[in-house]
Amino acid sequence: MPSDALTKVRAVDDEALAVFDDPAIKHAVLHKIWELHKDDDLHNLHEINKLSHIKWYKPILYATEPVPFGTNYFGKILLDENEQCIHARVFKSEKEELIFHSIHWRKAEEGGAVFGKDDELEYFEY
Protein backbone atom coordinates (compact mmCIF):
# COMPACT_ATOMS: atom_id res chain seq x y z
CA MET A 1 0.00 0.00 0.00
CA PRO A 2 1.51 3.36 -0.98
CA SER A 3 2.59 5.64 1.79
CA ASP A 4 0.90 9.04 1.95
CA ALA A 5 3.99 10.39 3.67
CA LEU A 6 6.38 9.69 0.76
CA THR A 7 7.97 12.91 -0.46
CA LYS A 8 8.11 14.00 -4.06
CA VAL A 9 10.78 12.18 -6.09
CA ARG A 10 13.77 14.43 -6.65
CA ALA A 11 17.28 14.38 -8.07
CA VAL A 12 19.98 12.92 -5.88
CA ASP A 13 21.69 15.46 -3.64
CA ASP A 14 24.31 15.25 -0.88
CA GLU A 15 21.73 13.85 1.56
CA ALA A 16 20.86 10.95 -0.75
CA LEU A 17 24.48 10.32 -1.71
CA ALA A 18 25.35 9.98 1.97
CA VAL A 19 22.79 7.16 2.14
CA PHE A 20 23.09 5.31 -1.18
CA ASP A 21 26.85 5.77 -1.69
CA ASP A 22 27.63 4.57 1.82
CA PRO A 23 30.02 1.61 1.28
CA ALA A 24 27.93 -0.81 3.37
CA ILE A 25 24.71 0.13 1.57
CA LYS A 26 26.32 -0.04 -1.87
CA HIS A 27 27.73 -3.47 -1.01
CA ALA A 28 24.32 -4.67 0.25
CA VAL A 29 22.53 -3.52 -2.93
CA LEU A 30 25.13 -5.07 -5.24
CA HIS A 31 25.16 -8.27 -3.17
CA LYS A 32 21.36 -8.51 -3.45
CA ILE A 33 21.63 -8.15 -7.24
CA TRP A 34 24.24 -10.93 -7.25
CA GLU A 35 21.86 -13.12 -5.17
CA LEU A 36 19.07 -12.48 -7.68
CA HIS A 37 21.35 -13.52 -10.56
CA LYS A 38 22.30 -16.68 -8.67
CA ASP A 39 18.64 -17.53 -7.94
CA ASP A 40 17.70 -16.82 -11.57
CA ASP A 41 20.31 -19.30 -12.77
CA LEU A 42 19.40 -21.91 -10.17
CA HIS A 43 15.60 -21.69 -10.38
CA ASN A 44 15.10 -20.20 -13.86
CA LEU A 45 13.13 -17.29 -12.36
CA HIS A 46 14.02 -14.56 -14.90
CA GLU A 47 13.72 -11.79 -12.28
CA ILE A 48 16.87 -9.97 -13.25
CA ASN A 49 18.10 -11.58 -16.48
CA LYS A 50 17.52 -8.37 -18.47
CA LEU A 51 20.59 -7.02 -16.70
CA SER A 52 23.61 -8.62 -18.35
CA HIS A 53 26.17 -6.90 -16.14
CA ILE A 54 26.64 -3.85 -13.97
CA LYS A 55 28.84 -1.13 -15.43
CA TRP A 56 28.39 1.41 -12.67
CA TYR A 57 26.40 2.26 -9.56
CA LYS A 58 24.98 5.76 -9.80
CA PRO A 59 22.08 6.94 -7.59
CA ILE A 60 19.97 9.34 -9.70
CA LEU A 61 16.61 9.87 -7.95
CA TYR A 62 15.20 9.46 -4.47
CA ALA A 63 12.24 10.07 -2.19
CA THR A 64 11.92 9.83 1.57
CA GLU A 65 9.30 8.74 4.07
CA PRO A 66 9.47 9.89 7.68
CA VAL A 67 8.71 6.96 9.99
CA PRO A 68 8.97 6.40 13.74
CA PHE A 69 12.62 6.45 14.79
CA GLY A 70 13.99 7.54 11.42
CA THR A 71 13.50 7.90 7.67
CA ASN A 72 13.03 5.46 4.81
CA TYR A 73 14.93 6.34 1.62
CA PHE A 74 13.73 5.04 -1.73
CA GLY A 75 16.34 5.37 -4.48
CA LYS A 76 16.72 4.74 -8.19
CA ILE A 77 20.21 3.53 -9.04
CA LEU A 78 21.48 3.55 -12.62
CA LEU A 79 23.51 0.44 -13.50
CA ASP A 80 24.51 0.63 -17.15
CA GLU A 81 24.52 2.59 -20.41
CA ASN A 82 21.17 1.01 -21.40
CA GLU A 83 19.59 3.04 -18.58
CA GLN A 84 18.73 -0.05 -16.57
CA CYS A 85 18.08 0.73 -12.92
CA ILE A 86 17.35 -0.93 -9.63
CA HIS A 87 15.08 0.58 -6.96
CA ALA A 88 16.43 0.26 -3.42
CA ARG A 89 15.09 1.03 0.04
CA VAL A 90 17.26 2.03 3.01
CA PHE A 91 16.29 2.95 6.57
CA LYS A 92 18.22 5.75 8.32
CA SER A 93 17.70 5.78 12.07
CA GLU A 94 17.56 8.88 14.25
CA LYS A 95 21.08 7.90 15.34
CA GLU A 96 22.24 8.09 11.69
CA GLU A 97 22.59 4.29 11.36
CA LEU A 98 21.91 3.03 7.81
CA ILE A 99 20.18 -0.31 7.25
CA PHE A 100 19.61 -1.79 3.79
CA HIS A 101 15.99 -2.92 3.55
CA SER A 102 15.39 -4.32 0.06
CA ILE A 103 15.26 -3.78 -3.65
CA HIS A 104 11.98 -3.50 -5.53
CA TRP A 105 10.45 -6.62 -7.07
CA ARG A 106 8.07 -6.97 -9.96
CA LYS A 107 6.76 -10.05 -11.70
CA ALA A 108 9.09 -11.38 -14.38
CA GLU A 109 6.47 -10.62 -17.06
CA GLU A 110 6.70 -6.95 -16.07
CA GLY A 111 10.49 -6.84 -16.27
CA GLY A 112 11.50 -8.38 -12.96
CA ALA A 113 13.73 -6.39 -10.64
CA VAL A 114 15.22 -4.27 -13.44
CA PHE A 115 13.64 -0.89 -14.16
CA GLY A 116 14.20 1.63 -16.93
CA LYS A 117 15.39 5.15 -16.28
CA ASP A 118 11.87 6.48 -17.00
CA ASP A 119 10.00 4.00 -14.76
CA GLU A 120 8.50 5.74 -11.74
CA LEU A 121 10.16 5.44 -8.37
CA GLU A 122 7.37 4.42 -6.02
CA TYR A 123 6.81 3.27 -2.48
CA PHE A 124 7.37 -0.46 -1.88
CA GLU A 125 6.98 -2.40 1.33
CA TYR A 126 9.08 -5.58 1.15
80-113 pLDDT tens trace: 888 888 999 999 999 999 999 999 876 556 666 7
The Cα 43–Cα 31 span in angstroms is 18
49: CB partners within 8 A, 6+ apart: 37, 40, 112
Query: Cβ distance 25 to 90 under 8 Å?
Result: yes
pLDDT at site 101: 96
1-10, 19-28, 76-85: least confidently modelled range: 1-10
Q: Are 112 and 51 in contact (CB under 8 A)?
A: no
Q: Where are the beta strands (DSSP E) in the chain?
A: 10-11, 58-67, 70-78, 84-93, 98-103, 115-116
Query: Judging by beta carbons within 10 Å of its beta carbon (0-12, 13-18, 19+), is residue 23 exposed, middle or buried?
Result: exposed
Q: What is the pLDDT of residue 115?
A: 86
Is residue 25 within 8 A of residue 17, CB to CB? The reply is: no
Residues 22-53 pLDDT 10s? 999 999 999 988 888 777 666 666 656 566 67
* Partners of 78 in beta bridges: 58, 85
Query: What digits encode the pLDDT tens for the residues 113-123?
Result: 788 889 899 89
Predicted TM-score of the model (pTM) = 0.87
Q: Is the dihedral of CA 15, 20, 25, 26 positive or negative?
A: negative
